[in-house]
Structure formats: C-alpha cells, structure tokens
C-alpha cells in the first residue's frame, strides 16, 4: 500500500464567493459594492478541491483533510460545508470585515504559506481561481512563498509515493506533469463532480473542530498593496435603433459620426 500523505489542505477562504441576490449597489463612499445581508457560499472550484481531497482520503492516500478559510465570522459556515463533505477539521483565519474587503491573493498566500509551515503539511490543494473577482493568483503565489512545485488547472490528480502526477488542460490539449511532494495544486472544473453533503454528515460536521487563529499569530502583515481609487456604476445603456437596410445603417452611422 502506498504511504499516506500526512496532511492534505484545502483552502476555501478568499475563494468563497458572495451570491448577490439583490441588485448590485455601489457604496456611497465609492469604495466598493454593498454586501450587507448577502449570503456567502463556497466557490465551485473549492468544492471540487474538497471533493478531490476527500476522495484521496477514502483511497487511504492521505491521512487528514484540513479546510482553511480566511475572513470574518461567517466564513465558518463555509468551513462547516467542507466538514460535512468529509474534511476532518477546520482552520479559520479570522479577519475583520473592514480588513477582509481589501484582502487579496498576495496576503492570502502569505497566510497559507505560514500555516503550511506551522502545521507541517506537504500538499496544499486550492480552487484554481475565485469567481467574484476571477483572481487566478493565490495558488501560484503560495507555491512561490513556500518554494514548492505547483500543478495548476488540474483535471486529474494521482499519487505515486512521494510524487504527484497532474494532468492539466493547456491551449494545445493536455499536459502531464510530475511533482515532488511537498507541492501546491489548483483544481479545475473537470477534476471531479462534488458530492452533496448528507444530513447525517451535516450533523456530524457541527461537532468537528474549527480552530480560530489571527494573522498576527502567524506573523503575517495584511497591509494591502492595492488601493481602490473609486468604484462607479456602469453608464446607462442607450436604447438601440433598428434599421431596415444596409443603406439605412450607413446613413445612421454617418449621422452619429461613426464613419
């Protein structure tokens, strides 16, 4: 039997996204959009990462699955979802809402790198990108901070002792890479189909441990490298004009100064 990987980490934090059920409104001070009363949900790419970790544990290829999330108190709901899917325990890096708004991949990667060193893990699995801002940077930056090899956009993951074989989609087709553990892997959509958490597992998840730590405990500075100057509503679109013929179209374009 292959030796089990000591710990398998899933990062959920900034990759959890907010489902904006109401019309998007810009804050009066132009610093962002209003998120009060908005439900937070797990990013689909992170769901796939959780599923892959649980499957590897079911195959006895990993010994423990730890779900990590960065953000305010409500992030624990996302961790509970991961626990209900099969993760063993959760780690919540608590960040106040005012600081969370400016939290970016650079700060998150520093947190993950510090946690990986502290916990002694040797495999870190993340969703490939967030779907609120489409950042595709956290996995790559974390690998750089740790000086670990990385397998991004993974559509297939297999373990062979101290090595991982990653199949990933590229413009020209499929690429296969082999990574020496420890390593960082980011999950693509075609990696698997996440399971639904059953009611018994949801109840069990309520009893699983979630440890809360602060960035200061890890020696991580959350000072943002990016400053938002202003967030504006998009301009109102003007009504279109229908024309009957190409000649009419040319006339209209000339009248509007387009040609």
Give me the average pLDDT of each 10-residue run along the chain (259 residues).
53 45 76 75 90 92 90 88 93 87 88 92 90 85 95 92 91 92 93 92 91 92 85 85 89 85
Domain-located, residue 208: yes
What DSSP letter does each residue of 115-149 carry, written as one string?
HHHHHT--EEEEES--SSS----HHHHHHHHHT--
Residue 15: per-residue pLDDT? 38
Listed residue (30, 113, 128, 12) closest to 70, CA to CA: 12
- Its domain, for residue 33, covers 8-255
Residue 80: per-residue pLDDT? 92
Q: Residue 168 pairs with which residues in a beta bridge?
A: 154, 175
CATH code: domain of residue 100: 3.40.50.620
Domain-located, residue 96: yes
Residue 170 CA to residue 241 CA, distance in Å, equals 42
Strands (DSSP E) along 22-170, which ranges?
A: 39-41, 65-71, 89-94, 123-127, 150-160, 163-170
Tokens found for residue 93 = 């890096």
Residue 68: per-residue pLDDT? 92
Domain-located, residue 1: no
Domain-located, residue 2: no
Residue 109: per-residue pLDDT? 93
Residue 104: per-residue pLDDT? 86
Predicted TM-score (pTM) of this structure: 0.81
Please tell me the total count of domains within the chain: 1
CB 182 within 8 A of CB 55: no
Residue 14: per-residue pLDDT? 42
Residue 150: per-residue pLDDT? 95
């Amino acid at each position: 039997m292959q030796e089990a990987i000591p710990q398998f980490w899933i990062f959920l934090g900034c990759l959890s996204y907010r489902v904006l059920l109401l019309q998007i409104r810009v804050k009066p001070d132009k610093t962002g959009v209003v998120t009060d009363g908005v439900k937070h949900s797990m990013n689909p790419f992170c769901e796939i990462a959780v599923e892959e970790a649980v499957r590897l544990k079911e195959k006895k290829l990993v010994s423990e699955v730890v779900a990590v999330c960065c953000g305010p108190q409500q992030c624990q709901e996302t961790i509970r979802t991961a626990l209900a899917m099969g993760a063993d325990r959760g780690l919540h890096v608590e960040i106040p809402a005012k600081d969370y708004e400016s939290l970016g991949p650079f700060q998150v990667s520093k947190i993950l790198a510090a946690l990986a060193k502290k916990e002694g893990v040797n495999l870190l699995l993340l969703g490939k990108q967030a779907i609120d801002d489409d950042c595709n940077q956290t996995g790559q930056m974390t690998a750089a901070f740790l000086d670990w090899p990385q397998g991004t956009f993974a559509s297939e993951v297999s373990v062979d002792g101290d090595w991982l074989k990653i199949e990933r989609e590229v413009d020209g087709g499929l690429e296969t890479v082999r990574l020496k553990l420890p390593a960082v892997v980011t999950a693509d959509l075609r990696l698997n189909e996440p399971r639904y958490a059953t009611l018994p597992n949801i109840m069990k998840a309520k009893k699983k441990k979630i440890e809360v730590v602060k960035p200061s405990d890890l020696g991580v500075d959350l000072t943002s490298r990016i400053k938002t100057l202003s967030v504006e509503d998009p301009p109102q679109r003007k009504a279109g004009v229908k024309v009957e013929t190409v000649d009419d179209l040319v006339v209209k374009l000339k009248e509007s100064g387009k040609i």
